[in-house]
């Protein structure tokens, strides 16, 4: 649907405006965004395949990861790990080409924006289609839009966090932190599916979680810049 594309692309471009300081025409920025978008379908297929393999080995039923907490959390960890590894790899690939244009953290954020925009498009399209059903509601649709905005923001911040580890020479630790962030985010959705809370509470958790990660990345990035400046002055 054109409207779903427009909304999701708007979310992604809004994130790029923040990342680039308003300069959307930079080639590295567009390349990182595009590579992030291309990574989304690859991670979906790979994560689903690993989840099926794990379910087969563990003897879980076909709905276990969607209907039970333990299996669901295992599936969330797999999804988060695959997503963050692929996004970080995409960010590093573009950064290697345009290393002098910006810090690797910005490349990570741009990749996350493209990745998140594609994922948001799929959910927004389903939400628009569901509006024609008798059970749909305006609040439910609005909740989907808010959740997908948080989804894009979370992926921007999580990939930037993973990329920050390269700058700080602790890539494994920061990648693990990014995986943990996304796992928590996915757990919010799992708990909603298990009827732990309302759609409104789910939306609030998504927004608060994304805001917390963004704030953490900004603070960590600025602290690194300050430390680097002090080291240079010394």
The Cα–Cα gap between 222 and 74 comes to 34
- What sign does the CA torsion over 50, 51, 52, 54 have? positive
Q: What is the pLDDT of residue 26?
A: 82
Three-state DSSP at 168 gives coil
User: Are 160 and 92 contacting, i.e. CB atoms less than 8 angstroms apart?
Assistant: no
pLDDT in tens, the chain (234 residues): 789 999 999 999 888 888 766 677 788 889 999 999 999 999 999 999 999 999 999 999 888 998 999 999 999 999 999 999 999 999 999 999 888 777 889 899 999 999 999 999 999 999 888 877 776 777 788 889 999 999 999 999 999 999 999 988 899 999 999 999 999 999 999 999 999 999 999 999 999 999 999 888 888 877 755 544 444 444
Q: Quick one: tokens of 225?
A: 């810049």
User: Are 206 and 151 contacting, i.e. CB atoms less than 8 angstroms apart?
Assistant: yes
Q: What is the pLDDT of residue 22?
A: 67
What global pTM score does this model have? 0.92
């Amino acid at each position: 649907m054109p409207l779903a594309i427009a909304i999701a692309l708007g979310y992604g471009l809004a994130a790029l405006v923040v990342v680039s300081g308003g300069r959307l025409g930079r080639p590295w920025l567009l390349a990182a965004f595009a590579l992030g978008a291309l990574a989304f379908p690859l991670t979906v297929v790979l994560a689903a395949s690993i989840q099926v393999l794990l379910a087969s080995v563990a003897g879980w039923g076909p709905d276990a990861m969607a209907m039970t907490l333990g299996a669901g959390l295992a599936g969330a960890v797999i999804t988060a790990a695959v997503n963050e590894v692929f996004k970080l790899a995409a960010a590093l690939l573009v950064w290697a080409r345009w290393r002098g244009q910006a810090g690797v953290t910005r490349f990570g954020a741009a990749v996350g924006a493209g990745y998140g925009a594609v994922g948001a498009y799929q959910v927004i399209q389903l939400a628009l289609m569901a509006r024609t059903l008798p059970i749909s509601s305006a609040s439910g649709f609005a909740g989907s839009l808010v959740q997908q905005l948080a989804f894009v923001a979370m992926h921007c911040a999580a990939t930037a966090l993973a990329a920050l580890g390269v700058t700080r020479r602790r890539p494994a630790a920061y990648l693990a932190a990014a995986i943990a962030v996304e796992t928590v985010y996915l757990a919010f959705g799992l708990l909603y599916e298990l009827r732990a809370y309302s759609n409104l509470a789910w939306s609030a958790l998504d927004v608060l979680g994304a805001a917390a990660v963004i704030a953490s990345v900004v603070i960590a990035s600025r602290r690194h810049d300050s430390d680097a400046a002090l080291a240079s002055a010394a």
